[in-house]
Amino acid sequence: MKKVKVIVMAMLILSTAGVNAQGKLFTRNGKINFFSKTTAENIDANNNEVFSIIDPQKNEVAFQVLNTGFKFEKALMQEHFNENYIESSKFPKAIFQGTITDPSMVDFNKEGNYNVTVTGSLLMHGVTNKVTIPATIHIADKKVSAESKFTVKLADYNIKIPAVVANQISETVVVSVNCQYEPYNR
């Protein structure tokens, strides 16, 4: 019984240790938007179920998003996205894993806005590419949020545009990420 109490106390101490700014931070409801301006019509989709984690001690950042979670204004666009372009049944997730390139650029213990660069691997449509993206980490009232905006070339991820609409669809999409983090207590 004494051993159980010690284990429970240790678990409580370890779980509350994540509350400080040096513990891991996560969200299950981060937001990713992608936008593509086209001659036919603009393509705009949102996903508010993004899982993300930041480990300030290791300067690691990770995101995972289910492709079927993207919502479009028009149901037909959503269907084409999932079936023809991203092939969600074959490639259900997009995943990014990276590190803050210069960790001295951010102090997770001090309020402020920190412009950083994150370098890592982006897996999408079964293809992994090394990417470097700008991001801003905001720390205010002991809360951490992050945002980023970058461009993805569809061809880099073997996403094919049918010839019949090739002159009406952009070859790139602008991706915007916005996450509000909380302490990861595990």
Which amino acid is it at 3? Answer: K
Distance CA 19, CA 34 (A): 32
Locate 61 and state its tokens: 């950042």
Which amino acid is it at 91? Answer: F
Per-residue pLDDT tens over the stretch 10-28: 333 333 333 344 599 999 9
Per-residue pLDDT tens over the stretch 80-124: 999 989 999 999 999 999 999 999 999 999 999 999 999 999 999
Number of Cβ within 10 Å of residue 141's Cβ equals 5
42, 34, 46: which is closest to 169 by C-alpha?
A: 42
- Could you give all domains of the chain from N- to C-terminal order, each with its CATH number? 2-183 (2.40.128.110)
Confidence of residue 168 (pLDDT cuts 50, 70, 90): confident
